[in-house]
Every structure is written in structure tokens, then in C-alpha cells.
Amino acid sequence: MNDWIEIGTVEDIPRQGARVIRTAAGDIAVFRTAEDEVFALRDRCPHKGGQLSQGIVYGKKVACPLHNWSIHLDSGEAVAPDKGCAASFPVKVVDGQIYIALPAAGARFASVS
Amino acid sequence: MRKEKLVLIGNGMAGIRALEELIKIAPEMYDITVFGAEPYGNYNRILLSPVLSGEKSFDDIVLNDEAWYQRHGITLYKGREITAIDRRARSVIARDGTTAFYDRLLIATGSNPVILPVPGHQLPGVITFRDIYDVDTMISAAQTLRHVVVIGGGLLGLEAANGLKQRGMHVTVVHLSTTLMDRQLDEVAGTMLRQSLESRGIEFLLGAQTEEIIGRKRVQGVRFKDGRETTADLVVMAVGIRPNIELAKAAGLYCERGILVNDTLQTYDPRVYAVGECVQHRRRTYGLVAPLFEQAKVCANHLAEIGFRRYQGSMLSTKLKVTGVDVFSAGDFTGDAGTESLILRDHARGVYKKLVIKDNRIHGAVMIGDTVDGSWYFQLMREGSDIRDIRNRLLHGQAHVGDAGHGGATATATMSDATEICGCNGVCKSEIVDAIIGKKLFTLEDVRAHTKASSSCGSCTGLVEQILAATLGGDYSAAPREKPLCKCTDYSHDEVRQAIREQRLTSIRAVMDRLEWKNPDGCASCRPALNYYLISTWPAEARDDYQSRFINERAHANIQKDGTYSVVPRMWGGVTTPAELRAIADVAEKFNVPEVKMTGGQRIDLLGVKKEQLPAVWRELGKAGLVSGHAYGKAIRTVKTCVGAEWCRFGVQDSTQMGIAVEKMCWGSWTPHKVKVAVSGCPRNCAEATIKDFGVVAVDSGWELHVGGNGGVKVRVTDLLYKVTTSEEVLEYCGAFLQLYREEARYLERTAHWIERVGLSYMKQRLLENPDNRRGLFARFRESQQYAQVDPWAERANGGVEGHEFIPLKQIA
């Protein structure tokens, strides 16, 4: 696990919205909930690869824009009865700055299903 | 703090369903104890028939095994019948002396089968059909005995008869009335059902009143009032059920036929609740599963102290399956002097449909042989839809009226397992059946969640409901009268909208607070709906909440499956210029747009544009005067035209200019669903105006105005609204129609569905009969357009609106 990488401020992300960070291993969606909590998931729905960053954020979930699967922001797990999981990444917020921890360089994101 | 104690008497479907609902919303609230008289866990009583017929085993129909009770920390006392309730001490006492104290008590003691008190009714060999014990008795009897007489030709009796026939017995059904299932069927349907069952080898004695059950040591036969007699080794009484209220009565709770409860399922003692077959609510008792589940939900809601839900009684439909005969029945199926009937009867196909109509509304329906439209009729009935405009096609089914086609397939029973039911999601019959059984599903919503069948376009809903009914055998859970907007609320679309209007709510937060939304910031279903209702009701005041819009309307482009977007510039009335085409071509080359194609609405589509490129693409297009085509929105999309009188030798009006004028007036307007418009220059109708939401067809003397068409899943041809003479009138009627749609249709309801729901006559009443009404609508439309006609592309390409939408937060090497 690498160190914490600073990626922007909470204010950079709209409330109930998401922004994308581009990495060598693929896109990561960074979400901000109505309560200003921040979560990061691989930007691929476990169903058919839809970009979760483009979905509607509600509670601690996001609805995928392609086929409306709902994904838990904290775990990346699909909301039952759908089954599947998007990889999630540790994030922390310090003084409004968001930091993310990514797997070691070169590693592909684990796909859990 | 000490947890409150909740005791449930009755380990059956209604009581346990209430606990399940309670655990969902307040898992830690109570210390729960359950007493069941039967020595089993909770099982699915409506599946006893398939166990009897041998299609399923007991294990298949268990709903909650012991692990479920343990997992939720529920103490289960099986096989311990409660014999007394001490309301003063707040305790219940079982036959073996087990005592439990309660803070709240839930009674779900169900019902008992009625036993005719005729001589001989206590002889060995006389049984009922109520629980798994009865089924076991019948199964073992079938191995040694030959003749069975089933007393009662209702649903339960026929299911018992069918099961015993399949077990190889010689079955005679005795029924007091001359019509089978006379609580659900009229004489014709009852006769058809009888013939169908007779062809399967079941015999009937109708109009026969049982006088005595004959036998010395055990049953030997049955004698009837008219002197007839029949041999019997086994007699099954299936003559009805009676609410089991003895315990409640003894505890001093007020009972009539059932235990009296109010709209929150409380008895006269507010600590004591009751649900299920044992209760009497607004003078009615229920024996089907759907109302029990509705009651369970309300009761759980109240137990969890979120007491805003009310049970207001259930409107019932029975859609049942007796040995391969599809039967549907709802409401008042006989009618009276004040009603009329529409009847379709086709002996060769074994089909009979009857609709009972009063004041142009469906009051009841009975169908046999082809029941695929049952759920549709039931919906029309529940919503009180005016059917005068569709009555000439009504009996032929929804496929002949407009939307929701099912490819002519009507009977799921004969379909092979591999038949595809849901074409959108590729779900075949066996997958649905397996899910219903394996995952213990009861409702259409359950099936949608687990299999996705019928969850996209919904055209296979009738088929899925049929499979559900066929698989569950008896009844199943029908939708409540008016559906809540989504799971976050109990209010319907119309109620929410009314609140927004009357209480002057102008933000999503205000709506959710005022209407006590259950999820603090709603869900992906309600937020877009609320946003639409707000901006359409208060165009000047409400702020458009982009985060509550679907991505296409947030990004002002259409998301594609690979995450790229498509860009469709507006071409007024489908007319373009060399300069515009050049600009589009330049953009396509400059941004390496992978595909350029024509749309069905006479526009050009640039496919495969990356999101970051969108503002730059729009900037370039904007330089040539091109603006957003709203091809991505629940909005006015396109106005398609033909060349019209300017060029065409047949054209009688200038349809192109008319189309441009309509589009200039309408663009930018947000609507409940997408809206497509077309203008044809003569009745040859080359612009295909009669399958558009609003279609204008030129005739020599003016313009015909057509409404409510669409292509898509099921083509619906428009209804002719009116004929006008001037182009000003076309604009006025068009604007007024769109405004009526904007104000009254539910979010995501196309004009076609909306018109089918409210009726063309209503449309005419609002738009034609009162000119002031029409002008008022038109004025409101123009008023709202002042706020809507801002090109969203220009705002984002040059004005910096929502800039974050198109730029990554960070690039990490």
C-alpha cells in the first residue's frame, strides 16, 4: 500500500455527487454524500462496467447510470438482491483535503465478485 | 434501557410477515417471542396445494427456518398453543404453562376451517384442508383409499380435488351452489371451469346440500338433502374459513366476526395488535394473502413507532390457477340493474371475459382461459379510469389498445421453460419460476428485484403476474390501490405533487421534510421526480438540482454503454444549412468522433464523444449557431417534418415552417417523459405524425391535431384531438396540451400512458370545452418557457456552469 495521496478538497466535489480521478490502473470515482462523507470506488459497476461516478448519489449509495444497480459506497457491494462488488479504496479527509490510498504501482485493481 | 417485549401469538404468514417488516425498519427495538400451535416453523400456506399434488415437498414451502429466528434473536415456542391472555398482567399463558410477558402483543391466530355440523362430521375420515397435517393425512389416505368426496367447490376445494386426483384417487366435488367458485365466478365462467375440470376426470355434484355423513366406524358415504348418495372413503370439508377469535374474545377484546381493529391494526386494547385472517377491519375479513401482507406492513410501521401508515382496506383480485385453467376475478363480477356488461366468449379457445361497467368505469371482471390482461383491468378498476374512449377495444386486451404488448402470447401455462418472457433483460420462464420458489417470492416487485423480469419496459408484466399466480397456486400479492412514489414515502405521485403546489414547496429538502421522507436524502427514483415536479410547478422559484438529475440531463448528452456520450444538435424542424453541416463535419474530424449517424427524428448524432470533450465540442458547434437538441432529456426532443406545400406536389400546408414554429416555441421545456412532435404537410403523413406525442397533420382546410402516440415497445397510434384552421391555433393547442401533460402526468409517464389513464374525453374537456382553460394552460406554458429557453450547452461551453462535471478531479500518473 502506498502513502496517502492528496487528490483535492471536499468542496471540489458537489454534494450528492462524484468526481473522477484518473490513475494508470484505471478510473476511480470519489463520492461526496449529503452528509459530506467521502468514499472512493473503482469507477466500474460490477454489473456491466457502467461509470459509477455518473450515477445519482443518495444516502451512502450510488445508482449506476446504465441499468440502475445500486452500490454501497462504503463497501462497493451491490445492494441485494443484486450481487457483485466494485473495489473500494481507503480515503481520509483532513482539514477539507481528501487523501486516497492506492495499491502499489502496477497492481491491477482487484475485482471482487 | 430495557428493551420492550413484543409477543406474537400465531406463527403463520401474517404474523411473521409483520415481524419481518418490523425487523427491516427497527431491528433492535423489541425483544420478540413467538408462540405457534403447529409444531413447525413458518411455512407458505398458499403452497399446500402443490405439496398435496406432489409437485413440491414440505421443505420447499418453509418460509422461515429455525436459523432465521435465531439470527434475529427471536424466541420461538413451537407446538405451544396459547390458551389465555391476561391483559392486566400483560402476559400470555400456553397450554403447558409457559408464560410470557409483553409490552405489546400481536395476535395473528388466523382462521379455522368451517366444519359442517351435519350428523357424522366427527367420524374418522372426515378432514379439512388447512394445514400441513391435513395434507399429510390426505397423502397417506391416497395410498390406501379410493373414493374421496370434497365438500365445497370454491378455490380451496378445487385445489384439494385437483391434488387428490393427481394422487390417483377418484374425486367427487360437492357444491351447494350450481356454479363452481360462485364467490369469484359467474355462471358461464363457472360452467367452463367445471367442463375443464371434468375433462381431467373430476366429478361434480352441484346444487347438493349435505345432509349426513354416513358410516359406522369411519366414513362410508355422503347423503344429500335431495336423497342422492355417494360413496366416500375420505371426506374433505372445504366450505370456508372462520376467523379464530376465541382467545381474543376470552381476553375481553371486542370481536364481531373477527377481532375488530382500526387503521393501525390495533384492537380495542391499544397495546394489542392483530393482523391476518383473524381480524375484522371496516366490517370486512380477508382470506387472501395480499391484504394480510398490507396489514403486516402497516402494523410493523406502527410497532416501530413510525406511525404514519394507515391500512384502509384492500381491493381484491384473485388470479388463480386450477389445473391448467387460468382464472381471474376481481370486484363486482355479477353486476346489477345499474351496470352493464361487456362480454367476449370464444368456445373454441376456451376463453370467456366479462367486464362489469358502471358510469364508464370497470367495477368488476371475470375471466377464464385468457387472463393475461387481468392485471391491466384491475389497474383500470383501482384507478377508476374512464374507459369510454377505449371500450370498443377493451375486451380484446391491452395489446389492442396501445401500450404494453406481449407479442400476442397470452397463456404462460403452455409455454416451454426456455420461452423468453422479458425481452429487455433476457429472462426466460424457468428463471422466473425458479426464483419464485427458490427465493420465496410473493409479489411482482419481488420478482422484478430478483430476476429483473418486467423491470425495464414493463410490457411483460401481465405474463410475469400469470407465472407468479400459476407458481404460487392460490392468490398472490397485488399492488396497493395507489402506488407510493417510491420506497422513501407512502405518498403517491399525485399526492406529492399536490403538496408541492398547495403548500408552495420549492425545494427537494422542503418536500422531504414536510412529507416526512423515510430516507433522509431520498433515492435515485424519487429525486429526479421531485426535481421535475418542483421546476415544472415553480419555474421561477425552484432551483434545478443537477445532482438529482439522471446523468444525461446533468451532462446534457446521452451516456453510452462505454461511458462516452452522444451529441445531437438541434435542427429546427429538421432543416439544416451547408454552414451547419460544415460545422458538424469539422467537429467530427477535429475531435475524432467515431461515428456520425442520422437519428430517427431528423437530426445528426455524433457518437463516442468523451465527457471532457463535451464543452469544447459544444463551443465549436455553438459558433455555427447550433444549440442543444435535448436528445438526452425528459424534454421536448424533436419536431419532425415533411417538406410540405413549399416543394411537395401533394402538400396542402407548409408543414416545415409549421414544424419550425412549434419547435421554436417548445424547445427547452422539461416534461414528465420525452416528447416527440411531428408535422406532416398532407394526410399521406410522411412525417409519421400519428405515432408522436403531439402530431400535426395538414388537410386542405387546416390542421388536424393528434395526441398520445408513440413508437417504441408497443406502437400506439395517436387519438385525434381536434381540427383547427390557423397556425396560431396549432401553437396554442400544442402549448396547452404540453402544459396539461407537464402539470398532470406522473414523472416518467409518456403521453400515451397518461392518455390511457385519464382518457381522451378528459383531454377534450380540458383543452376544447373551455377556451379559458386552454388559454390559461397556454399562458402558463409560455411563462415557464421564459425560464427554460436557455441553451444549456452555451452555459457550459462558455459560461462555466457546472465546470466540475467535465474535468477529472485529479490525474495520477
* Measured CA distances, B633 to B636, B670, B723 (Å): 8, 8, 30
β pairing state of B259-261 and B279-281: parallel
B382 vs A83: which has the higher pLDDT: A83
CB contact under 8 A, A21 and B808: yes
| B550: chain A residues, CB-CB within 8 Å | 56, 65
Q: Point out the residue among A12, A63, A66 whose CB comes nearest to the CB of B804.
A: A12
Distance, in Å, from the CA atom of B346 to the CA atom of B354, rounded to the nearest integer, reads: 12
- Give every CB contact of residue B89 below 8 A, 6+ residues apart in sequence: B101
Same domain for B106 and B253?
yes
Among candidate residues B594, B623, B652, the one where a domain is terminated: B623
Size of interface A-B (CB pairs under 8 A): 86
- In the sheet that holds B82-86, the strands lie side by side as B82-86, B91-94, B99-101
Q: State the CATH number of the domain containing residue B562.
A: 3.90.480.10
pLDDT, one tens digit per residue, over A10-67 is: 999 999 999 999 998 899 999 999 999 999 999 999 999 999 999 999 999 999 999 8
Q: Residue A75 domain-assigned?
A: yes
Does some domain include residue B483?
no
Confirm whether A108 is domain-assigned.
no
- Distance separating alpha carbons of residues B24 and B715, to the nearest angstrom: 41
- The more confidently predicted of residues B439 and B353 is B353
* Distance, CA of B528 to CA of B519 (rounded, Å): 15
Average pLDDT over residues B508-520: 93
Q: Give me Rg for the CA atoms of chain A.
A: 13
What range does the domain containing A77 cover? 15-89
Mutant choice from A23, A37, A38, A58 vs B, greatest count of B C-beta within 10 A: A58
Distance separating alpha carbons of residues B369 and B77, to the nearest angstrom? 45
The reply to whether B808 falls in a domain is no
Instruction: Count the domains in chain B.
Output: 6
- Domain annotation covers residue A10: no
Inside any domain, residue A62? yes
The pLDDT-based confidence of B425 (bands split at 50, 70, 90) is confident
In terms of domains, do B193 and B283 share one?
no
Residue B365's beta-bridge partner residues?
A: B330, B355
| pLDDT for res A108 | 55
Closest-CA distance of chain B to residue A8, Å: 7
Full domain range(s) for residue B515: 493-549
CB spacing of A54 vs B808 below 8 angstroms: no
CA gap B696, B737 in Å, rounded? 13
Contacts of A23 in chain B (CB under 8 A): 812
Res B481: pLDDT: 52
Q: Are the beta carbons of B170 and B148 closer than 8 angstroms? A: yes
B777 and B647 share one domain: yes
**Minimum-distance CB partner of A16 among B519, B521, B809:** B521
In our burial notation (b when 16+ CB lie closer than 10 A, e otherwise), range A25-59 reads bebbbbbbbbeeebbbbbbbbbbeebbbbbbbbbb
Inter-chain touch A22–B519, beta carbons under 8 Å: no
User: What CATH number does residue A54 fall under?
Assistant: 2.102.10.10
Task: Tell me the mean pLDDT in the region B579-591.
Answer: 97
Inter-chain contact A58–B519, Cβ cutoff 8 Å?
yes
pLDDT single digits (tens) B15-45: 999 999 899 888 899 999 999 998 888 888 8
DSSP letter assigned to residue B569: B
Q: What is the pLDDT of residue A106?
A: 52
Asked if residue A100 is part of any domain, the answer here is no
Task: Report yes or no on B480 lying in a domain.
Answer: no
Rounded Cα–Cα distance for residues B602 and B640 (Å): 6
Q: Does residue A94 belong to any structural domain of this protein?
A: no
- Give the 3-state secondary structure of residue B101: strand
Cβ–Cβ < 8 Å for B56, B433: no
Q: Are residues B102 and B214 in the same domain?
A: no
What's the gap in Å between the CA of B522 and the closest CA on chain A?
6
> Residue A58: its chain B contacts at CB < 8 A?
519, 521-524, 527
What is the C-alpha separation between B172 and B301, in angstroms, rounded? 46
| Domain assignment of residue A7, yes or no | no
* Residue B813 belongs to some domain of the structure: no
Contacts of B528 in chain A (CB under 8 A): 56
> At B259, which CATH number?
3.50.50.60
Question: Quick one: pLDDT band at residue B404, thresholds 50, 70, 90?
Answer: very low
Sort out which chain A residues have CB atoms less than 8 A from B548's CB and list them: 16, 56
Which residues on B lie below 8 Å from A56 (Cβ)? 524, 527-528, 547-551
Residues B672 and B634: beta-carbon distance below 8 Å:
yes
- Residue A2 in any domain: the answer is no
Tell me which residues of chain A have a C-beta less than 8 Å from any C-beta of chain B. Answer: 5, 7-8, 12-17, 19-24, 27, 30, 33-34, 48-51, 54-59, 61, 63, 65-66, 68, 70, 81, 102
Pair B97, B76 in one domain: yes
Strand, coil or helix: what is B592? coil
A29-34's contacts with Cβ under 8 Å and 24+ in sequence apart are A29/A53, A29/A62, A30/A91, A30/A98, A30/A100, A30/B809, A31/A57, A31/A62, A31/A73, A32/A57, A33/A57, A33/A59, A33/A60, A33/A73, A33/B521, A34/A58, A34/A59, A34/B520, A34/B521
pLDDT at B315: 77
Tell me what pLDDT residue B373 has.
Answer: 83
Q: For B326-364, write each residue's pLDDT tens digit.
A: 788 888 888 888 999 999 999 888 899 999 999 999 999
B94/B188 same-domain check: no
Q: Do B612 and B641 belong to one domain?
A: no
User: pLDDT-based confidence at B475, cuts 50/70/90?
Assistant: low
Instruction: Answer for the pair B273, B266: CB distance below 8 angstroms, yes or no.
Output: yes
- Mark whether B194 and B101 lie in a shared domain: no
Q: Judge if B43 and B102 occupy the same domain.
A: yes
Q: Do A12 and B521 touch (CB under 8 A)?
A: no
List, for residues B639-648, the tens digit of each pLDDT value. 999 999 999 9
By Cβ distance, the residue of B547, B808, B813 closest to A19 is: B808
Tell me which of B193, B211, B239 is where a domain ends.
Answer: B239
pTM: 0.75
pLDDT tens digit string along B559-577?
Answer: 999 999 999 999 999 999 9
Q: Dihedral of the CA atoms B292, B295, B301, B303 (nearest 10)?
A: -90
Domains held by chain A: number = 1
The distance of B80 to chain A (nearest Cα, Å) reads: 35
- For B809, the closest of A21, A65, A70 (CB atoms) is A21
**Does B98 lie in the same domain as B40?**
yes
Does the pLDDT at position B796 exceed 80? yes
| Residue B296 included in any domain | yes
| Region of residue B295 (phi > 0: left; psi between -120 and 50: alpha; otherwise: beta) | alpha
Q: How would residue B320 be classed by pLDDT, with cut points 50, 70 and 90?
A: low
The beta-carbon neighbor of A15 closest among B547, B552, B808 is B547
Q: Is residue B196 part of a domain?
A: yes
Q: Is B39 exposed, middle or buried (0-12, 13-18, 19+ CB in 10 A)?
A: exposed
Which residues in chain A are closer than 8 Å to B549, comparing Cβ atoms?
56
Per-residue pLDDT, B469? 73
Q: Evaluate whether residue B311 is within a structural domain.
A: no
Shared domain check, B580 and B434: no
Nearest CA in chain B to A48: B561
B211 and B278 in a single domain? The answer is no
In a domain, B176, yes or no: yes
Contacts B555 to A, Cβ<8 Å:
54
What was the pLDDT predicted at B465?
80
Boundary residue ending a domain (B239, B263, B288): B239
Mean per-residue pLDDT over chain B, rounded? 90
Q: Mean pLDDT over residues B307-326, rounded?
A: 73
Contacts of A70 in chain B (CB under 8 A): 524
